[in-house]
Structures are given as C-alpha cells and as structure tokens.
C-alpha cells in the first residue's frame, strides 16, 4: 500500500462526484426537452458508482463509475395540440426527469465533492507536518 493512498482514494471520489455533477447538469438542461411523435423521450441519466477493489484482503482503492443508467418508467403525455412536437392526436411526450430528485442529487454530489476536497487538504497538511518533523 502506498503512503499516498489517501490522496488516491479522495481523488477517485472527486472524479466520481464531478462525473455525477456533470450528469445532473445534463439532466437539468434537458428537463423541458420534448421530442416529436414516435421518438423516445429524454430520460434522465443516473450514475452508478462502485468500490475499486484492491488485491485480495487489502483495503479498497477508492470508487469508480460502474454504469450510467437511464430513468425507467413511462413518460407523461400532455395534451397540447398547438405544440410543434405534438403527435397526430395532439399529445406531447414529456421528458422523464424528476426535478426534485435531481436537485437532491445535486446537493449530495456537491457535498461529496466538498468532502473529498477536504480529505485531500487534510492529508496534504498531515504529510507536510510529517516532513517538518524530520527537519528539526
């Protein structure tokens, strides 16, 4: 195990948090995106993270993005015959994005990123303190 494992683990957490934030941003940017007639509606993406495993019996090496899944479920159809994307019956298929859920995830992803930054700063300070001890 490396002396700087803490930095690697916090760095991997920052990477996953940033990817999660980018995905949420994409979902929020498409919250009002409608598609015409027979096209598949926009579905929010969900990030799935997993632990990066070390060799047998060793501690984990951080986290990584395991998959990006699409929001399941049936889209809502709204009757709006004047909309340019309405089908022949006058219905518009709305995107599958849970705005409240996305905002909650945004807070969680932001806090996750902040915590990993704090771990990096604390580890850096601890390493610098250890180096100063040897100088005296």
In order along the chain (136 residues), what is the average pLDDT of each group of 10 residues? 77 95 97 81 94 75 93 88 87 91 96 95 87 74
Answer whether residue 104 is part of any domain: yes
pLDDT at residue 112 in the model = 95
pLDDT at residue 39 in the model = 78
Range of the domain at 45: 5-131
Domain count, the chain: 1
Answer whether residue 37 is part of any domain: yes
Answer whether residue 75 is part of any domain: yes
Answer whether residue 98 is part of any domain: yes
Answer whether residue 52 is part of any domain: yes
| Beta carbons of 120 and 11 less than 8 angstroms apart | yes
Helix axes 99-135, 5-29, angle to 10 degrees: 160
Answer whether residue 136 is part of any domain: no
Answer whether residue 103 is part of any domain: yes
Alpha-carbon distance of 11 to 116, in angstroms, equals 7
């Amino acid at each position: 195990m490396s002396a700087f494992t803490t930095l690697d683990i916090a760095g991997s957490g920052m990477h996953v948090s940033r990817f999660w934030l980018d995905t949420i941003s994409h979902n929020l940017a498409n919250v009002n995106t409608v598609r015409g007639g027979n096209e598949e509606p926009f579905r929010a993406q969900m990030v799935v993270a997993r632990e990066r495993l070390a060799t047998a019996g060793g501690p984990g090496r951080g986290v990584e993005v395991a998959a990006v899944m699409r929001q399941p479920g049936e889209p809502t159809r709204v009757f709006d015959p004047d909309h340019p994307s309405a089908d022949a019956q006058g219905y518009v298929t709305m995107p599958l994005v849970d705005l409240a859920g996305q905002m909650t995830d945004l807070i969680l992803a932001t806090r996750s990123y902040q915590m990993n930054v704090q771990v990096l700063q604390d580890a850096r300070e601890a390493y610098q303190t250890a180096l100063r001890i040897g100088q005296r």
